Amino acid sequence: EKVETPSTGSGYLLYEKIGENVEFYSSYGEKLWKMPFKSYPRTSRQGNLSLLISGDNNQVITVDKNGAKIGIEKMDGRFLSDYAFSNNTEGAFIVFAGGELFLINSKAEPLFQLFAGNDKELYFFKSAALSPNMNFSAVHFLYKDSDYFRLMNNKGEKVYDVKFPRVYPHKIFMAVSDEGYSLINLPERIIFVSSEGKVIQDIKKQSKTPTVFQTAFYTGKMFVANASGELGFYDKTGKLLNKHYIFDTPFRALPSGKEDVVFLESRSYLFTFQLIE
């Protein structure tokens, strides 16, 4: 059995990777509801919105904390490749590989749903990011023979594209601020992009054995990214505020509910970092 827990909420979801049901328990271990569904759940920071992802990754069902379907209720596409929750509003950005993109609020009501691909040309959508207040969403995708990063506003309109140095056949870890600044943590470099789409920092990593899994997060006040055995804390322009040596990688960044605090979870530890101004 596997557990999905909201980072600052109460209760937890219990499921099996290839199971028949999803169950929700209180913090005291009391079973509150059970839903027959062959899926795995992913939940928002407070647990008010959960995404139930089908076994074939072609459908996502939206439920609330009581297990009731809400808002759009279901989203269909050609293979779910990534999703991102907003830190503050508990909305979500859902990306299917075929180009079906959905931005929903905490009640699962769609802010936009669009088809960003083109059946006549080669597109493949791989990665998602969402700013804390859902002002901006970002997607990483393949178009023809190149990879791109695209920033969109909350209506689904393109703000800018940035071409990657090469094609990455896997998820890329990215973060976006509510002002439209972006952090892209590639295996061999960290890129910071301004709200106008200009690359303002391009930091080459020193590691000779780059890995796929990276850390990329925006708290509301600072970006967090790992590079060459160090965890860096940056302002929106990519200026380094502080750094710490990290000995247990990889890290998963979790929202804390505060703009100056971030939780970082490794295989063995849970750390809390706070920005002191």
Instruction: Tell me the whole-structure pTM to 2 decimals.
Output: 0.94
Task: For residue range 140-195, list pLDDT tens digits in order.
Answer: 999 999 999 999 999 999 999 999 999 999 999 999 999 999 999 999 999 999 99
Q: What is the DSSP string of 175-197?
A: EE-TTS-EEEE-SSEEEEE-TTS
Residue 166: DSSP 8-state: S
Contact 64, 46 (CB under 8 A): no
Whether residue 248 is predicted with pLDDT greater than 70 in this model: the reply is: no
C-alpha–C-alpha distance, residues 56 and 53, integer Å: 8
Confidence at residue 268, expressed as pLDDT on a 0 to 100 scale: 84
Confidence at residue 28, expressed as pLDDT on a 0 to 100 scale: 94
Q: Which band of pLDDT confidence, cut at 50, 70 and 90, is reported for residue 241?
A: very high
Confidence at residue 277, expressed as pLDDT on a 0 to 100 scale: 79
Confidence at residue 210, expressed as pLDDT on a 0 to 100 scale: 75
Least Cα distance to 203 among 230, 177, 221 occurs for 230
Amino acid in the structure at residue 78:
R
Contact 6, 21 (CB under 8 A): no
Mean pLDDT of the chain: 94
Higher pLDDT, 267 or 247: 267
Least Cα distance to 196 among 184, 212, 179 occurs for 179
**Distance from chain centroid for Cα 75:** 17
Task: For residue range 21-54, list pLDDT tens digits in order.
Answer: 999 999 999 999 999 988 899 999 999 999 999 9
Task: For residue range 97-142, list pLDDT tens digits in order.
Answer: 999 999 999 999 999 999 998 888 999 999 999 999 999 999 999 9
Pairing of the two strands 12-15 and 2-4: antiparallel
Q: Which band of pLDDT confidence, cut at 50, 70 and 90, is reported for residue 16?
A: confident
**What is the percent of the chain where pLDDT is above 90?**
83
Question: Which parts of the chain fold into alpha helices (H)?
Answer: none
Average pLDDT value for residue range 81-85: 98
